[in-house]
Amino acid sequence: MNDVLDVALRLLIVFVVFLVAPLVVGQTEHKVMAHMQGRLGPMYAGGFHGWAQLVADGVKFAQKEDIVPAAADRRVFQLAPAVALLPYLLVLVVIPVGPGDGAVGQVVDAGIFFVLAVMGIGVLGSLMAGWASANKYSLLGGLRSAAQLLAYELPMLLAAASVAMAAGTVSLTGILDAFEWWWLPWQIIGALVFFVAGLAELQRPPFDMPVADSEIIFGAYTEYTGLRFALFLLSEYAGIVVLCGLTTVLFLGGWHGPFGADGLGWVWTLLKAAVLAFVVIWLRVTYPRLREDQLQKLAWTTLIPLALAQIALTGIVKVAIN
Amino acid sequence: MPPIPGSGLAKGLAVTLRTMTKRTVTAQYPDVQPELPPRTRGVIGLFEENCTVCMLCARECPDWCIYIDSHKETVPPAAPGGRERSRNVLDRFAIDFALCMYCGICIEVCPFDALFWSPEFEYAETDIHELTHERDKLRDWMWTVPEPPALDPGSEEPKEFAAARKTADKLRAAEEAEARQAAEARQAAEDQAAEGRAAEGRGADEDRGTEGRPGPGSDRGGQA
């Protein structure tokens, strides 16, 4: 009975975080982007500096008509948003926030493997949406998503593999237990590659070629409206949360910090993830969208060699230490 | 020296970060009224008292958006036996702001300063016909006309000032003359009283009233 309660509580907490954290990131993006452009951003919803803007957006989305195009592949079309969103929920379960078993939804021994495999499924959602919409723009967007997934999954995996090599384990908690501060400079290249590749996988600007609105309307999501569209948006922001959490855990030492690692470890994790989320927004505001060929070139000619170099460096240092 | 590769990317990040720390330029308009410059062309206000129905504004208006109706009234002669004067009385003064292109020619040509720019701009209507605003509305806008901006230092004195000063000088001269006369009268009365006391009995209060007091100058000062 106690076990059931424990599991239910953990799942409930993870679910609440899954619902709240993306909205916090989204609202931060509204405000940070506005101020970086000399604007104020939302100011009315909720009364105080538009804090309830995304709630209002959610209400609006819920009121909209649920449209499925006549020529669409109904089932696949309706299923796609769930396929895009749920993997991030699953990933969130295994990300450790603080030290010990109490601060993680479920310890998975093959943590990195599980996380990267499940995150890859998220892109399947855009592929399904693009194919099932019976719309040429959706199809183009879906294919671009697929090309991006192929190009960026590899450097992401290689960078994560470098950390796994350094720690000698693929378990996320195991990696954090083995973490030392000097891993930071040691794995810095891998961290950059992982972060950039993760951004590209989330289709965040400047890697938002699959949804390039000036070319293909909104890519795979062109035909979506109402709640299903909102789910796609939510999955993007949940993706930011997951990516920032993962980067924190793999490369920035998670709950390790200069002080307070005993009781306040989770604060360090949240702080690092928040800073990374800010960087994600910052990059979106600053850089224009990459062209499709530049996108592919960046992955294959820059990120993959860098990731391989990082693996080589990790291997050399590892051997030297032993 | 060639630029360091990737320095452009860093520069871009610096620009956005710097902008974030600066004050935003957003105008929170319905909550905060904008601060408009003094010569803002918001709407045209009418100062009826100055209008002589000369129709110059209506004739100069490039898109004929000014409507003026008037009738003639006769005024009794100023002096008995004189000729009756006639004068135009304004019946209707309306500007169709759906047609008005805010060129300001009517304001420029008005010889009697009856039209002014007001910075008022919140007069949207839901029907285009309601944009023809009548004299009462135009008069209300007159009260929002700001004071004219101050003259540059060392600039020539405006004509109005000279006219007003002339009037004031005349007034002061008249007052002084009056005071002098009064003083003379008092002096004379005192002298007489002294004489009377000396003569004991012969006493007549001769209070010389002041008359022929020159009225205020008839120059049209102020607005004209």
Question: Which of A34, A37, A286 lies nearest to residue B12, judging by beta carbons?
Answer: A286
Inter-chain residue contact A34 with B24, CB threshold 8 Å: yes
d(CA B7, CA B1): 13
pLDDT at B217: 44
Inter-chain residue contact A43 with B28, CB threshold 8 Å: yes
ipTM: 0.75
Inter-chain residue contact B16 with A38, CB threshold 8 Å: no
In a domain, A301, yes or no: yes
Question: Which of A35, A39, A286 lies nearest to residue B13, judging by beta carbons?
Answer: A286
In a domain, A87, yes or no: yes
Q: How far does CA B210 lie from the centroid of its chain?
A: 36
Token pair 């309307």 is found at A217
Q: Which residues in chain A are contacts of B6 at CB distance < 8 A?
A: none
In a domain, A46, yes or no: no
* Six token digits for residue A184: 């930071």
- Name the residue among A224, A136, A154, A229 with its Cα closest to residue A194: A154
Residue B45: φ, ψ to 5°: -100, 150
Class of domain B31-142: alpha beta
Structural domain boundaries enclosing A179: 66-321
Distance from the B43 Cα atom to the nearest Cα atom in chain A, whole angstroms: 29
Question: In a structure prediction context, what are the per-residue pLDDT tens digits for chain A, which is 322 residues long?
Answer: 688 888 888 888 888 888 888 999 999 999 999 999 988 888 888 888 888 888 898 899 989 988 888 888 888 888 889 898 889 888 888 888 877 666 676 777 788 888 888 888 888 888 888 888 888 898 988 888 888 888 888 899 899 888 888 888 888 888 888 887 788 888 888 899 999 998 888 888 888 888 888 888 888 888 888 888 999 888 889 989 999 988 988 888 877 777 765 677 778 888 888 999 999 999 999 988 888 888 888 889 989 999 999 999 888 888 888 7
pLDDT at B181: 92
User: Structural domain boundaries of chain B?
Assistant: 31-142, 157-199
**Sequence-distant contacts of A48-55: CB under 8 A, at least 24 apart:** A51/A27, A53/A27, A54/A23, A54/A26, A54/A27, A54/A30, A55/A23
pLDDT at B170: 93
Q: Does B15 touch chain A (CB under 8 A)?
A: yes
Q: Does B124 touch chain A (CB under 8 A)?
A: no
pLDDT at A124: 85
Distance from the A40 Cα atom to the nearest Cα atom in chain B, whole angstroms: 6
Distance from the B3 Cα atom to the nearest Cα atom in chain A, whole angstroms: 19
pLDDT at B201: 58
Question: Which of A32, A38, A283 lies nearest to residue B24, judging by beta carbons?
Answer: A38
pLDDT at B174: 93
Q: Does A40 touch chain B (CB under 8 A)?
A: yes
- Name the residue among A212, A192, A213 with its Cα closest to residue A279: A192
pLDDT at B105: 92
To test the contact with chain B by mutation, choose from A286, A287, A302 the residue with the greatest count of B C-beta atoms within 10 A, namely A286
In a domain, A194, yes or no: yes
In a domain, A158, yes or no: yes
- Flag residues of chain B having pLDDT under 50: 203-224
Count the domains in chain A: 1
Inter-chain residue contact A38 with B25, CB threshold 8 Å: yes
Residue count (chain A)? 322
In a domain, A226, yes or no: yes
